[in-house]
Structure 1
Amino acid sequence: MAVSAYFDSPSRNDARAVAEINITPLVDVMLVLLVIFMVAAPVMTGTLNLNLPVATPPTAEAPPPRVQLSVQVDGSYVLDGQAVAAVSLQDALDTLAGRAPRTVLEIAANADADYQGFATAVSAAKDSGLKNIALQ
């Protein structure tokens, strides 16, 4: 806010000071605020026409069965507690995939097992058509 003071006559000793307020900046600020509100008001009151999807209740679906395949130190396999020879592993996994295609096959290997045995188990699981393979 600007204040200006002037005297009626510089030669008079009893000159009185006159104060006047410059209101031009106040008017400028008010006009800017008016323009902002005029532009923003239609945006805030506008609505969008939306067609939101309706939520359907979830179906109570049973979780898929889980089967454990372990690779032993000697290269043999244990499928869900039963020993399986390396040559019949593919047939056992094909049978499992045919009975329940959603089965989760958890493949775990002994820390001292050969990597080739683990890779064979993963390859056989993939070739059998099982989609849910978990490596442990």
Structure 2
Amino acid sequence: MSFSTQDSDEVLSEMNVTPLVDVMLVLLVVFIVTTPMMTNAIKINLPKTDAVATVQKKDPVVVSVDQDGKFYLAKTEVAPELLEKSLLDVKAQDPEVRVQLQADSGVNYGQVAKAMASIERSGITKISVMTAK
């Protein structure tokens, strides 16, 4: 609010927004309180059934590349040229197989790329690359 020290006949018109803000805050509180009550308005008695067995998720197959560039399939050392064939055998047993690729941070990127290419050529589409936080 401004005050004028001069004698002038100008009218100072400013809108007082305090009542508007008060009304809006009251409406906001009303909506916050009433909204959860409106979501559960329909009461339904769900039927009871016998317990069903939970779906067992299989652990993913781990492909590792150590700091020396050696390949491992589930903690068993595998020659780089045999990795694809081994993964094909794993995929034949389980078509929905998932693979986790773990590589040492000091390993040459070419070795990691070879492992990824072998996984791709074996037809496995569910792959995750593991990293540390």
Q: How many residues are treated as equivalent by the alignment?
A: 82
The within-5 A match list for 1:78-93 is: 78-93=72-87
Compared CA separation, residues 103 and 65, structure 1 to 2 (3 A): farther
Offset from partner CA, 1:3-24 (integer Å, 9 cap, x none):
xxxxxxxxxxxxxxxxxxxxxx
TM-score (norm 1): 0.54
Q: Give the residue type in structure 2 aligned to 1:73.
A: Q
Compared CA separation, residues 93 and 84, structure 1 to 2 (3 A): same
Is residue 134 from structure 1 mapped to residue 102 from structure 2 by the alignment? no
Greater share of strand? 1
Name the Cα RMSD after superposition.
2.2
Q: Give the residue type in structure 1 aligned to 2:75.
A: G
Larger radius of gyration: 1
Give 1:59 shift.
7.2
1:94 paired residue number: 88
Unaligned runs of 5+ in 2: 1-48
1:26 paired residue number: none
Give 1:127 shift.
1.1
Greater RCO, 1 or 2 (C-alpha within 8 Å, sep 6+) = 2
- Decide whether the 8 Å contact of 1:70 with 1:109 is kept in 2: yes
Distance 1:64 1:125 in 2: 18
Distance 2:75 2:104 in 1: 15
Q: Percent identity?
A: 22
TM-score (norm 2): 0.55
Give 1:61 shift.
2.1
